[in-house]
Chain A
Amino acid sequence: MQGSINPASEPTVAVEEHHHEGHPDLRVLGLLTFLCSEFLMFAGFFVLFLVYRSQAGAWPPEETEVELLLPTINTIILVSSSFVIHFGDKAVKRGDIAGLRKWYWITAEMGVIFLIGQVYEYMTLGYGLQTNLFSNCFYLMTGFHGLHVFIGLLLILGVLWRSRREGHYGAHHHVGVEMAEIYWHFVDVVWIVLFAIIYLLTLL
């Protein structure tokens, strides 16, 4: 009884297909709507950061300079991973599941490298979350973004996990693949803004 009404129970392949055939674009639309909301949360942090920057005498203050080399490498990795994941999306639209798996694996690896780089940066900076207002903002914003990278990574791994099953994804049913890709692009775009205002603005 419980099983029959509880939707959280494991959906069958048939249900997935049906749902997808039912309304092909609604889940993607739902995700895009959600990301609008997410973006405004980041926008709140960006505005806060810029206001604090404009109010402060020295920003970042003397003892909390940012490093530029590692974040630049990280940026290159994350931005290129957006192209890599798109190859995966193109592959699945051709029905090429092996291609999908290959490109999504590479994306996941790039994401892991990004996160490792981020953690390495935290460990070598020499100041912590509580040091001053700049470091508060720095750790909170990059950390919050890092959390999103991590979630994106989980989505990609979820796609890889599901793609092991024969026929789970195909040229005409790949909403999950697409949603992971959209989320990844979102994380990427947020990073570009973040990189610009936290790191590049220090060059001015």
Chain B
Amino acid sequence: MAQANLTGAIAAPQQSFPHPEKWEWYHYFTFNIDHKVIGIQYLVMAFIFYLVGGCMALAMRTELATPQSDFLDPNLYNALMTNHGTIMIFLWIVPAAIGGFGNFLVPLMIGARDMAFPKLNALAFWVTVPSGALIVGSFFFGGAQAGWTSYPPLSAITANTAQSMWILAIVLAGTSSILGALNFIVTIWKMRVPSMGWNDMPLFCWAIMATAVLALVSTPVLAAGLILLLFDINFGTSFFDPSRGGDVVMYQHLFWFYSHPAVYLMILPVFGIMSEVIPVHARKPIFGYKAIAYSSVAICFVGLFVWVHHMFTSGTPPWMRMFFTISTLIVAVPTGVKIFSWVATLWAGKIRYTSAMLFAIGLLAMFVFGGLTGVTMGTAPVDIHVHDTYYVVGHFHYVLFGGSVFGLYAGLYHWYPKITGRMLNEPLGIVHFVLTFIGTNLTFFPMHQLGLKGMPRRVAMYDPQFHSINLLCTIGAFILGISVLPFLINAIWSWSQGPKAPDNPWDAKTLEWTTESPPIIENWEVLPELTEGPYAYGEEPAEVPSS
């Protein structure tokens, strides 16, 4: 009965949410409840913050070109280092991958006219705007300087006002995450077109479902920890003050209970993007649909029990080190399942080397490397050696830049025609890819060597013996900075001047390609019906859903 009612609601949506015929540009700056508008709002806002965070990184790399502190004030360096991490995580990758692609694609992929709670959805976006404003504003008070982890006692004694603003910004971003997550869970669970079962869903939706569950259970714990820190800083409590009975390690537990899953919040949606991009451009059915789908769920579950591997040097007892080493290594199994499934999908496919596909293949190479260094560090003995060195920085930039950002670029190239109704320029895309690939490896690969040689991270000055390798990283960083330009020019120019995109430029099988480019308001005149699986390439041609 619920199902019948639901279909009724879908058939007559205009009654509940009156929309105009067409969105004008200024509608994109308002409290708009259309999931596609919200998706674009997230993507554009996140990309702007990506540029801001990127400029911060370039400033830091310029400082690190020489061993002395000669370009930035060391306190400013600390503030840039802290907020570079914060912005890239909370205002770029998470909002772009979950808020941007999730909102734009999930209702289109499951054949819904919108998310389950459109107003809540808009609210979740607009909560991130003050969050970004607080981060930017904190620089007028010196900027938070305790690293994105904000461990007390450092965070409790430096730049109190800026640190408090930072905490509020993260709590706001977390609130947005939670509201978004519950919306995704209910939408994917209840709003699929009646002909779509769980195992007919595109893998991106599986990934978003797993991500949403993870965000839902882990984010509130971070909020709890941060509220306690806020009280310690401003209201004279002593939760994390050992001189008055508190315990700094408890903060680390609360923090990492969220922040390790946050790694999966940043990579699982990107894995979902991979599972869409690879079969379309390899012209082959995805290898191991269920294995990929359920491995997302497995990562989500196991990912909740690995957080202490960030704390092997925090006086962690041996049994805990043992337990969390093992659980950490177990995460490599479902991740490996995905990687091998994508490789098997590529195997003997008729691969089209589009920009989207190049970034997807780039991700495969880089993420495997980042994953392997992750496994080495997941074992306590190695971790204790490389803890807080540049090895860690190299590792997580391979998974977050070589992984998440490459995946976001792949998604942008793949869905840009659907989002804007225009095609991107492919040669510029290839230039973008080549520069990004060279820049990424040149910047982050040498960091592993720096780390193994003992260069500590988060410092503006270093021993002169590390000079030449650091210079190499800095050159790479500038190539990476320049690599954004072809994309930016391409995206802005094509949005108004690019060739018009057909409904289904890549001959893909998922539902978002059955509507117009860009999709009409309410997505379809008549809701599509599933006639074949999402990845039925090269199989017996069934009747193509009418477009």
CB distance B235 to A130 under 8 Å?
A: yes
Distance in angstroms from B420 CB to nearest chain A CB is 21
Q: Which residues of B contact A52 (CB under 8 A)?
A: 245-247, 250
- Closest residue to B249 on the A side, CB-wise? A51
Q: Give, as a whole number of angstroms, the nearest-CB distance from A59 to chain B.
A: 10
Q: Is A126 an interface residue (CB 8 A)?
A: no
Tell me if B20 is interfacial: C-beta within 8 Å of chain A.
Answer: yes
Which residue in chain A gives the minimum CB-CB distance to B254? A44
Residue of B nearest to A56 (CB): B245
Check if B425 is an interface residue, CB within 8 A of chain A: no
A30, B221: Cβ atoms under 8 Å? no
Does B16 contact A1, Cβ atoms closer than 8 Å?
A: no
The minimal Cβ–Cβ distance linking B410 to chain A, given in whole angstroms, is: 30
Tell me if B116 is interfacial: C-beta within 8 Å of chain A. Answer: yes
Complex alpha-carbon distance, A29 and B222, angstroms: 24
Query: Among residues 368 to 403 in chain B, which have CB atoms less than 8 Å away from a CB atom of chain A?
Result: none
B160 beta carbon closer than 8 Å to chain A: no
A contact patch SS: helix
Contact A8 B31 (CB under 8 A): yes
Report chain A residues within 8 Å CB of B218: 40
Q: Which of A8, A14, A51, A129 contacts B247 (CB 8 A)?
A: A51
Q: How far is the CB of B225 from chain A (nearest CB, A)?
A: 7
Whole-angstrom distance between the alpha carbons of A25 and B189 in the complex? 12
Residues of chain B with a CB closer than 8 A to A42's CB: 224
Q: For the complex, what is the distance from the CA of A132 to the CA of B241, rounded to whole Å?
A: 11
Which of A6, A22, A136 is in CB contact (< 8 Å) with B231? A136
> How far is it, in angstroms, between the C-alpha of A7 and the C-alpha of B244 when the chains are bound?
50
Asked whether, in the complex, the Cβ of B116 is within 8 Å of the Cβ of A36, the reply is no
Contacts of B216 in A (CB 8 A): 33, 36-37
Max chain B CB contacts within 10 Å: which of A19, A34, A37, A38? A37
Interface residues in A29-54 (C-beta closer than 8 Å to B): 29-30, 33-34, 36-38, 40-45, 48, 51-52
Q: How far apart sit A40 and B247, CA to CA, in the bound complex (Å)?
A: 21
Q: Residues on A close to B: CB < 8 A?
A: 1-2, 4-8, 14-15, 18-19, 21-27, 29-30, 33-34, 36-38, 40-45, 48, 51-52, 55-56, 129-130, 132-133, 136-137, 140
Q: Known A-B contacts: A30-B117, A30-B183, A129-B236. Give 9 more (CB < 8 A).
A: A5-B18, A14-B15, A19-B9, A26-B117, A40-B217, A133-B245, A133-B246, A137-B239, A140-B228
Query: Which 9 A-B pairs rank lowest in CB-CB distance, beginning with the nearest?
Result: A22-B9, A44-B224, A41-B220, A133-B245, A33-B182, A136-B237, A130-B236, A44-B221, A40-B220
The contact sample of 25 A-B pairs, CB cut-off 8 A, is: A7-B118, A15-B16, A19-B9, A22-B6, A24-B2, A25-B2, A26-B190, A33-B181, A36-B217, A37-B181, A37-B216, A40-B220, A41-B221, A44-B225, A48-B250, A51-B250, A52-B247, A52-B250, A129-B236, A132-B238, A133-B239, A133-B245, A136-B237, A136-B239, A140-B227
